[in-house]
């Protein structure tokens, strides 16, 4: 008696594995064109006043004009530079502080109540006080962005470390791991998903607060571009800046998600059944 084992062709099997990801992408890209069509339809028939929301064609023409004269690139690069510096400082401080709170229960018990209370205050509320200490120059932007980044990173890092199973930590002790080995071989891999969640939240907060601080005190950047458009009553300029801000924020988040998949290949394999 002979038995035959049927197997899917490699190409078909690969497509089956990628199908969930392709479906998610299709769902993700379907909504923006739909909203754009509705927006254009309402503008075309005059159901949406131009002084409230300009037509998509007007906004697109504004973006093209800003790109051609170089002002869009100039403002965008300035905003990205501020975010890069502020986010780097805030993420590093957040990871270190969060690790200290997560690994040292006594420090966590001493600091956590005050930090939790301070974290409830929005960055915008700190601006008047920060202006007195650092002025309104670039230092103000860096401090605000770093602070808004550090808060979610600290919270996520602390939570990710404290949520590591005690059984895994005890296993490290049984195997005579040094404290550094337990952190690097047990705690860090288990905490990585929450760590990247905190970094993504920190990056989103950094990008949002950048716009706030540029609206408050700046003469360049995408936030300033929005302020300039509002002062000139050119809503197409405001919306053009908003579109660029949203697109860059989406790209930054996607970049961090890609890096997360690179350092956690097992997570991607589990998600698609490889």
Task: Indicate whether 27 belongs to any domain.
Answer: no
- pLDDT higher than 50, residue 272: no
Q: How many structural domains is the chain composed of?
A: 1
- Residue 183 scores a pLDDT above 80: no
- pLDDT-based confidence at 27, cuts 50/70/90? low
Q: 59 lies in a domain?
A: yes
- Kindly write down the DSSP assignment for every residue of 155-190, as one continuous string: HHHHHHHHTS-HHHHHHHHHTT--HHHHIIIIIHHH
Residue 231 has pLDDT above 50, yes or no: yes
Q: Report in angstroms the alpha-carbon separations of 172 from 44, 145, 177, 193, 222.
A: 66, 38, 5, 20, 49
> Which CATH number belongs to the domain containing residue 70 in this structure?
1.10.3720.10
Percent of the chain topping pLDDT 90:
6
Rounded mean pLDDT, 209-225: 82
Residue 171 lies inside a defined structural domain of this protein? yes
136-140, long-range: CB < 8 A, 24+ apart: 136/217, 138/82, 140/213, 140/217
Name 24's Cβ contacts closer than 8 Å, sequence gap at least 6. none
Residue 129: inside a domain, yes or no? yes
This prediction's pTM: 0.76
> In which band, very low, low, confident or very high, does the pLDDT at 273 lie, cut at 50, 70 and 90?
very low
**pLDDT value at position 87?**
92
pLDDT at 89: 93
Domain, as residue range, for 148:
54-267
- Report if residue 58 sits inside a domain: yes
Closest residue by Cα to residue 203 from 28, 75, 86: 86
Q: For 89-135, what is each residue's pLDDT tens digit? A: 999 998 888 888 887 888 888 887 888 888 888 777 788 788 888 87
The region of weakest confidence among 29-33, 125-129, 140-144, 183-187 is 183-187
In a domain, 141, yes or no: yes
Instruction: Answer yes or no: is 257 within a domain.
Output: yes
- Whether 6 is covered by a domain: the verdict is no
List the structure tokens of 117.
């209370």
% of the chain exceeding 70 in pLDDT: 78
């Amino acid at each position: 008696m002979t038995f035959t084992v049927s197997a899917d062709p490699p190409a078909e099997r690969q497509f089956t594995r990628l199908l969930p990801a392709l479906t998610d992408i299709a769902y993700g890209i379907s909504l923006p064109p739909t909203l754009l069509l509705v927006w254009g339809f309402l503008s075309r028939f005059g159901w949406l006043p131009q002084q409230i929301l300009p037509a998509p064609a007007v906004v697109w023409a504004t973006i093209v004009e800003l790109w051609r004269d170089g002002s869009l690139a100039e403002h965008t690069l300035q905003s990205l530079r501020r975010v890069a510096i502020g986010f780097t400082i805030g993420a590093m401080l957040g990871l270190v502080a969060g690790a200290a709170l997560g690994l040292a229960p006594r420090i966590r018990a001493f600091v956590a109540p005050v930090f939790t209370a301070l974290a409830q205050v929005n960055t915008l509320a700190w601006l008047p006080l920060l202006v007195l200490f650092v002025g309104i120059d670039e230092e103000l932007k860096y401090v605000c962005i770093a602070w808004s980044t550090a808060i979610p990173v600290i919270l996520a890092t602390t939570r990710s470390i404290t949520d590591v199973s005690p059984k895994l930590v005890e296993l490290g002790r049984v195997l005579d791991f040094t404290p550094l080995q337990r952190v690097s071989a047990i705690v860090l891999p288990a905490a990585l998903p929450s760590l990247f969640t905190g970094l993504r939240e920190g990056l989103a907060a950094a990008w949002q607060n950048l716009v706030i601080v540029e609206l408050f005190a700046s003469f360049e950047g995408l936030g300033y571009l929005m302020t300039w458009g509002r002062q000139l009553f050119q809503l197409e300029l405001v919306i053009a800046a908003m579109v660029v801000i949203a697109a860059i924020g989406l790209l930054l988040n996607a970049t961090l998600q890609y890096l997360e998949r690179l350092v956690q290949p097992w997570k991607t394999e589990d998600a698609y059944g490889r």
